[in-house]
Structure 1
């Protein structure tokens, strides 16, 4: 009897406690009373939060009586804090809360819980320099999120970019001076990642994914808003870093795996001061890994402090820095010679032993790199915002760079080793002033950005000349390392008589631009933009002959129509890009003095149309697009005179891209991408390449897929698994009409993971290249890719 009475008493007390719990709810819109989906609503000082649904509604339940401060934030909008006094058993409705558009610099709140469609982002403030939703943007872009990288236990930047539709690695990062970052093919053209948080940022060595919030790959010529300093005709790559958020927290992560991989990552965020208007975040990581070959390694350490300061409701500041110390052996690529006929046309005939590196761990390159970014944001009025930005970057190359060059001589498949001692430095500075407005003229809504940009880059090179340093065959049967020792002492002795360069060059770009998104109706909008660039090349500061100036215009037009508001968009765009070509010395030096020839800018024009969709309350979004890019006035080598260059080339690149991100049921996230590209040199006097596919275009077909499922309830709650595929069609790495072809075969690589997630920790196991596929990549080069590799990760969050 006593037990029954106690049980009844506890049940009544529990029911009373539940009855005394309260609820907070509200609806969040933009300044035009349109519902905002996925807004973060966090109780300040607690690990409790939620997101708004498709109608902009949110609800927080099971709250005790007391005073609460809600922090409300959304990418591209100014965060708000609302204080509420909540009584017992109260259902408190806040009503409508309006957020005003601003810049993506402060209060990126991280909430505990599952994000709907974790592998996509519906909005960014960088792609158009305006806080536009993807459904409103006439440009196509692919976003690789931090959640996707965590799901895949990604430890390097190359693996991260495998998730971007239509992107394929051409070269791994070499670390050499000037252009040591990795190269990737995008819509038929090569591109390097040179944009950090929307501003120029040098990445001459490794990019550590531990500090990446997301990667944005903008598709097509993007000169109108970004110029030609950081983009290619195929698009550009923007790395968005982690930034301070409202609250205190962090994580500590350790990853180990095959080939001596050891990576430790730390992340800590905290307020500074009592009023909590200043937030500081620190990310740091140390990574070391050996090559799968007989020699080679990468070793890097970086530290990334960032700070945000909200002075008042109008004025805010932010600072971001990243300092990296990296050392590596450069990947030994086999360069194919376009001037001689190859002895092999495929890997079987080449007889390549991919286990051999043809280098040593004594010959390394050091790549110290720094990137800094400061921003001031000032709200001029409810309709206008001022954004002032300053970025500075610097990177150095110190050490030994070598490569293997196809000889085409007496020995079959013979390659000569060439080596140089590098001592180079590049530094850039960029100042940018933007004014963004959201206003109406009559019934037409205008979202306008007007900007000014000044960019300058200085390069210093004190590299030695290149020397022949032995010969090899890819099978390793011939290797002159005994006569040409792969040691610093041996190389230094061989380089003792080589002249040291003393080159210093500088160029600057002064730009102004305007871009406007005009809503004729809520469903129909147009984006129009124009950029004016003045390019000033001072060339070698010791030689005034190659100095020149150029001015060019770059327009952009796009149209968007939404048959189903916020769910289905039809779009078309015209985008323009250009490249300023430095003056070239032409003429045979043995026949007399060479002459400087100045070329007009190369020009690219893209026409594109497609469909964007977002259904099931942001759980299913997809983009399908067709593009056609025509490049004119390409500068190419004169086929009748190798000492001359002529501006007569034209290239056409067209293709189809499809990307799908889905969260069909709770716990299941899917991402899939497919691209097909046809690229041809349509005009040139060079018979070697006329009608051929440019080698920078990479494979015609690419696809990527990743799925992740986590159990959300039951005895296996928190257990999850992932599986993915990456593949490419065959590619030409040499296809000259008179010297033969070399084709790398198609490949399909599978990866899988299993993990266990709890509130404060996560344990993951991952297998890359699950079936140990042997495959290669290259761009007039041949580079073997890593075999099967195992990874294990433990992450503790607090």
Structure 2
């Protein structure tokens, strides 16, 4: 933490100290009516130097070499302006710019003029070092939606994103559990989860569970690319989920913001942010503190987040950056419930001694270099130094806590990686084409210590009374990858994409599995190496300037995970030829906007998931039974995803002095079934075999529907939202009647409503308030087989929150 405080002092120094200036270009950006245009991008063409206009439309760029430049001013909805100028040493040049409104293509990030259809958009065909053309993608703009951001409320944040299933059992907001297209929401592990483009999970190749989530108050947008992201990012089947943090303010030397929230069950959250630009430097930093008692008994949480980012324009062509993020948590886990307990009182808890802790440190270095006006390079180096710690009574939930020694499990993650990307634009067929290529190296090490004998106390204490863990395993994953993808434009309407990714993965496992009768059970060290290629094709056809058809086919994979390589017992056998799960994603859709009052994205998807891993009972020559972990079969998810948002007032009236009403629907119909999946059971020493073909995939609701309405009047906004989720099964056998431990059984359908409002007052200050789970629905989305259960994990009932935001 000392290093964080040191950087904070440094950026404060930057904000108050004027650096030596070589020269300066300044001016004001207005529209044809003379109104200042704020938030416009002002860039010195062919360089990395750029700023944004402030609330009065003013801008300044200083401390750059003398010479001749082209100043480019742009903002979505306006025609870009380019102005040439020359400047000498220590000279100040004044350039005022007038922007004219323009009808723009869908390939630009669309913002509706109706002031309400803002929270959900699509990514441009090509963004910095990223090809998005032909891919199913969404951009969630956090600042434009009414939601409980202090608690990272997932169903509100993803309310307009069709097909997102959510495990709503972590009311603390520390971890997100989301998935799409019939995949498992378990800590979002079917997504490739990144922040600002770099990894934040322990190991995407071996343990992709997302224990860390940045505070939504600092997230500018969430980028989601479905399975077609596999070429540029690798695993997983679910695609990419990238949290883009708010960048340093380029319109001022210094800005500060404080967002403070209070709410039900002792909730208190304070988020404090600074940022600014001074000459060649820009910086940002935040600190968030959040704590509360939780909606359920024994649900205490206490979290701290801190982040610093500093960027430096070393020259007109080279920009350097450094980021570091730190999180620490203290979470009491109320555990699961039986079905009877849930029916009696879903707030109760019979586990008062279960605790969870995840210290997380993520540093990152970056560089961006403009080789030429058409070619640029991006380099990122990153690491994750973190822990996952738990202590508690882990027996089935229908067994009473005996108040004896608890079980301690600890993971230690030490990972680092680097990615180099090149973006090159060239001319062909009279059109600008784009080639994207990249190299990746990743090294992940996990030290897993489990089955430790903990204390008999009730506090968060991860000490082991005998000083040892019965299970002590070491895993390493080394990944080398290279990719290339090209956008080929034939004319203004039609484009194709094609790409390939080459992967090499080396996994190693060794250590002690358990101690039996005082004798250590040592695993035979195992190393697995594989090399393979993934292919992808896509296309877009622009029907007009604002609508398009898109389609994509991309191969995908999921590497064999640590859990797949770790037998639960020494008698179990791992298939030496165990293969990574392979398959593909296919999308076909139509998206766009009609004038300024209708946004839509309607699509069909098909996800083929082959080589799914499971366990079969096998017989030895002597008749003894053992479990054999191998690739068992295939599942398919297919269906419809639709998002529509409509502004009837703008459509039928045009403008209104009484405000605007925006209606949205996010609808998904998902048919996720097993096609061929052999399983076995043992009865009276005999092995019985059956096939799950035709069974529904577990944790895959057939219908995921969310509807809402937003009313906007001036600086006031209010949103009502309803989530309507169908029933689903908790296991692949599609068990309906729950077992005694409540780990399997039907997960019933539910409806839950939320109401949120915001009011921007006193210029940049704001008030926000809301009610989550308006009707106090009692429901659950998950039956856990282990931690943080086992048993039913209830979702939160009705809660309230009030937020005051101050900006200076």
Report the TM-score when normalising by structure 2: 0.74
| Secondary structure, aligned partner of 2:425 | strand
State the Cα deviation string for residues 329-380 of structure 1 (Å, max 9, x = none): 135135xxxxxxxxx9xx46974531212222x5422211122222211111
Question: What is the 5 A alignment of 1:350-369?
Answer: 351=343, 353-360=345-352, 363-369=354-360
Which among 134, 137, 140 is matched to residue 136 of structure 2?
140
Give the Cα separation in 1 of the matches to 2:84 and 2:719: 39
Give the structure 2 partner of residue 636 of structure 1.
614
State the Cα deviation string for residues 680-713 of structure 1 (Å, max 9, x = none): 111122156603545544311112234332322x
**What's the offset of the Cα at 1:642?**
5.2
**What's the offset of the Cα at 1:601?**
2.0
Give the structure 2 partner of residue 455 of structure 1.
442
Which among 578, 581, 585 is matched to residue 599 of structure 1?
578
Give the structure 2 partner of residue 615 of structure 1.
594
| Secondary structure, aligned partner of 1:449 | strand
Question: What are the ranges of 5 or more consecutive residues in structure 1 without an aligned counterpart?
Answer: 1-20, 34-39, 51-68, 105-110, 335-343, 468-483, 713-717
Give the Cα separation in 1 of the matches to 2:626 and 2:168: 26
Give the structure 1 partner of residue 246 of structure 2.
242
1:250–1:267 Cα contact (<8 Å) kept: yes
Give the Cα separation in 1 of the matches to 2:216 and 2:485: 32
Which among 304, 307, 313 is matched to residue 301 of structure 1?
304
Give the Cα separation in 2 of the matches to 1:227 and 1:681: 24
Question: What is the 5 A alignment of 1:389-400?
Answer: 389-400=380-391
State the Cα deviation string for residues 115-144 of structure 1 (Å, max 9, x = none): 663212343599894265xxxx21112322
1:506–1:540 Cα contact (<8 Å) kept: no
**What's the offset of the Cα at 1:489?**
10
Give the structure 1 partner of residue 765 of structure 2.
761
Give the structure 2 partner of residue 383 of structure 1.
374
**What's the offset of the Cα at 1:445?**
3.2
1:506–1:539 Cα contact (<8 Å) kept: yes
Give the structure 2 partner of residue 65 of structure 1.
none
Give the Cα separation in 2 of the matches to 1:549 and 1:252: 50
Question: What are the ranges of 5 or more consecutive residues in structure 2 without an aligned counterpart?
Answer: 1-32, 60-70, 88-94, 202-209, 513-522, 619-624, 651-658, 680-688, 739-744, 785-790
2:117 counterpart of 1:117: yes
Provide closer, same or farther for how the CA distance between residues 375 and 677 of structure 1 changes in structure 2, counting only shifts above 3 A.
same
**What's the offset of the Cα at 1:485?**
6.6
2:183 counterpart of 1:189: yes
Which among 789, 792, 798 is matched to residue 782 of structure 1?
792
**What's the offset of the Cα at 1:220?**
2.5
Question: What is the 5 A alignment of 1:559-578?
Answer: 559-565=539-545, 567-578=546-557
2:496 counterpart of 1:526: yes
**What's the offset of the Cα at 1:148?**
3.9
Aligned residues: 679
**What's the offset of the Cα at 1:460?**
1.1
**What's the offset of the Cα at 1:446?**
1.6
| Secondary structure, aligned partner of 1:462 | strand
Give the structure 1 partner of residue 704 of structure 2.
702
Give the structure 1 partner of residue 487 of structure 2.
517
Question: What is the 5 A alignment of 1:412-561?
Answer: 419-465=406-452, 487-488=458-459, 496=466, 499-540=469-510, 545-561=525-541
1:245–1:269 Cα contact (<8 Å) kept: yes
Give the Cα separation in 2 of the matches to 1:792 and 1:95: 40
State the Cα deviation string for residues 483-534 of structure 1 (Å, max 9, x = none): x9762599979x6597443322211110000011111111011111110000
Which among 617, 625, 630 is matched to residue 646 of structure 1?
630
**What's the offset of the Cα at 1:596?**
6.0
| Secondary structure, aligned partner of 2:584 | strand
Provide closer, same or farther for how the CA distance between residues 250 and 184 of structure 1 changes in structure 2, counting only shifts above 3 A.
same
**What's the offset of the Cα at 1:752?**
1.3
Question: What is the 5 A alignment of 1:46-85?
Answer: 47-48=56-57, 72=74
Give the structure 2 partner of residue 338 of structure 1.
none
| Secondary structure, aligned partner of 2:154 | helix
2:750 counterpart of 1:750: no
Provide closer, same or farther for how the CA distance between residues 404 and 79 of structure 1 changes in structure 2, counting only shifts above 3 A.
farther
1:363–1:400 Cα contact (<8 Å) kept: yes
Give the structure 1 partner of residue 163 of structure 2.
166
**What's the offset of the Cα at 1:277?**
2.1
2:719 counterpart of 1:722: yes
| Secondary structure, aligned partner of 1:259 | helix
| Secondary structure, aligned partner of 2:775 | coil
1:174–1:182 Cα contact (<8 Å) kept: no
1:587–1:594 Cα contact (<8 Å) kept: no
Give the structure 2 partner of residue 259 of structure 1.
265
1:257–1:790 Cα contact (<8 Å) kept: yes
**What's the offset of the Cα at 1:78?**
12
State the Cα deviation string for residues 601-620 of structure 1 (Å, max 9, x = none): 22111222111112215x53
Which sits farther off after the overlay, 658-667 or 762-771? 658-667
Give the Cα separation in 2 of the matches to 1:695 and 1:584: 23
Give the Cα separation in 2 of the matches to 1:669 and 1:43: 29
| Secondary structure, aligned partner of 1:264 | strand
Give the Cα separation in 1 of the matches to 2:319 and 2:583: 38
State the Cα deviation string for residues 31-65 of structure 1 (Å, max 9, x = none): 9x9xxxxxx99545x54489xxxxxxxxxxxxxxx
Give the structure 2 partner of residue 672 of structure 1.
665
Give the structure 2 partner of residue 311 of structure 1.
314
Provide closer, same or farther for how the CA distance between residues 166 and 625 of structure 1 changes in structure 2, counting only shifts above 3 A.
same
Question: What is the 5 A alignment of 1:267-306?
Answer: 267-272=273-278, 276-306=279-309
2:322–2:365 Cα contact (<8 Å) kept: yes
Provide closer, same or farther for how the CA distance between residues 79 and 312 of structure 1 changes in structure 2, counting only shifts above 3 A.
farther
2:573–2:627 Cα contact (<8 Å) kept: no
2:684 counterpart of 1:685: no
Provide closer, same or farther for how the CA distance between residues 419 and 653 of structure 1 changes in structure 2, counting only shifts above 3 A.
farther
**What's the offset of the Cα at 1:399?**
4.3
Which sits farther off after the overlay, 649-658 or 595-604? 595-604
Provide closer, same or farther for how the CA distance between residues 311 and 651 of structure 1 changes in structure 2, counting only shifts above 3 A.
same
Provide closer, same or farther for how the CA distance between residues 563 and 466 of structure 1 changes in structure 2, counting only shifts above 3 A.
farther
Provide closer, same or farther for how the CA distance between residues 529 and 697 of structure 1 changes in structure 2, counting only shifts above 3 A.
farther
Give the Cα separation in 1 of the matches to 2:700 and 2:723: 15
Give the structure 1 partner of residue 684 of structure 2.
none
State the Cα deviation string for residues 233-254 of structure 1 (Å, max 9, x = none): 2333221111113123232111
Provide closer, same or farther for how the CA distance between residues 154 and 393 of structure 1 changes in structure 2, counting only shifts above 3 A.
same
State the Cα deviation string for residues 443-465 of structure 1 (Å, max 9, x = none): 35321101101112111123334
2:327 counterpart of 1:324: yes
Report the TM-score when normalising by structure 1: 0.75
Provide closer, same or farther for how the CA distance between residues 351 and 157 of structure 1 changes in structure 2, counting only shifts above 3 A.
closer
